[in-house]
Structure 1
Amino acid sequence: MTSNHDIIKAHYDASDRGDIDGMLAPLAADARWTEMAGFPYAGTYVGPDEVRAGVFERIGAEWDGYTAAITELIDGGDTIVGLGTYSGTFRATGRWFEARVAHVWRLSGGEVVAFEQFTDTARVRDALA
């Protein structure tokens, strides 16, 4: 049986490869994915299709070199926390940003049922302006 830690690590490994299908693979059909208020894609998306369209495809279309470099995973059993750094250049302005990030993952039965993002939205907003 794959551990929750390994499931989330596989998500980040897919992210490093630019593999959106791999990133979405662990999400339950009704997973709730919440991007922080103040972030350009703020809101809660339900299910892999909404996450793909509302978050990942938009990031791919609007940013150059956007990365979520997660350097630490904290294993809390059914809750996994990823810590790292976002960075990228917003195409419309040519401005680069870097901001620390925390992701809180909640899993049940080997699937992600909820995700919540925490980051310095002011740094992202500065790149957009």
Structure 2
Amino acid sequence: MSTNLDLLRSTYEGLSGENATRLLAALTPEAEWVEAPGFPYAGTYVGAEAIVANVFQRLATEWIDYRAEAAHYLEQGDRIAAFGVYSGTFKATGRFMQASFAHLYTFRDGKIARMVQYVDSHMVQQAMHSPAG
């Protein structure tokens, strides 16, 4: 197992708060984080401060028990793809969702330089915009 893969696994396999701390420490200062079009937090964010404000802070405050659980990884050179499932309950609607994701990471000098998200956004949007029933 490579150092990059070990590092990436550590950002998925612990408690949410610990994962976030490890992820922030793993980012390059100019890390680029790309949330998929159609996802509620869509956009490209550069640097830890922008990533936290536009993605992780919103996930922490708008969802109950939001999780990203990776089940499989594929590594090729300085790139690693993580495949898994998001889950959580959207606070405003009380709706639970599960959505498949793929994250493509690019590493530089042992740090995450870029992440691109691919996700079943429909499942997330449905939870956010449909009342509990």
State TM-score, norm by structure 2. 0.90
Aligned to 1:50: 50
Give the conservation status (yes or no) of the 8 Å contact 1:4–1:77. no
Aligned to 1:91: 91
Gaps of 5+ in 2: none
Alpha-carbon separation, structure 2, partners of 1:21 and 1:48: 11
Q: Which sits farther off after the overlay, 106-115 or 4-13? A: 4-13
Q: 1:17 to 1:93 in 2, by over 3 A?
A: closer
Q: Which sits farther off after the overlay, 58-67 or 3-12? A: 3-12
Gaps of 5+ in 1: none
Give the conservation status (yes or no) of the 8 Å contact 2:16–2:67. no
Give the conservation status (yes or no) of the 8 Å contact 1:12–1:70. yes
Aligned to 1:24: 24
Aligned to 1:60: 60
Q: Which sits farther off after the overlay, 36-45 or 16-25? A: 16-25
Aligned to 1:79: 79
Number of residues paired by the alignment?
127
Q: Which sits farther off after the overlay, 19-28 or 111-120? A: 19-28
In the TM superposition, what is the alpha-carbon distance from 1:13 to its structure 2 partner? 2.9
Identity of aligned residues (%): 39
Alpha-carbon separation, structure 1, partners of 2:76 and 2:12: 17
Alpha-carbon separation, structure 1, partners of 2:7 and 2:96: 30
Residues 2-52 of structure 1: CA deviation (Å, up to 9, x unaligned): 6111121122135x3422222211110001000001111100110111111
| Aligned amino acid, residue 57 of structure 2 | E
Root mean square deviation, CA, Å? 1.2
Give the conservation status (yes or no) of the 8 Å contact 2:13–2:69. no
| Aligned amino acid, residue 6 of structure 2 | D
Alpha-carbon separation, structure 2, partners of 1:37 and 1:118: 9
Alpha-carbon separation, structure 2, partners of 1:126 and 1:59: 16
Equivalences for 1:1-16 in 2 at 5 Å? 3-14=3-14, 16=15
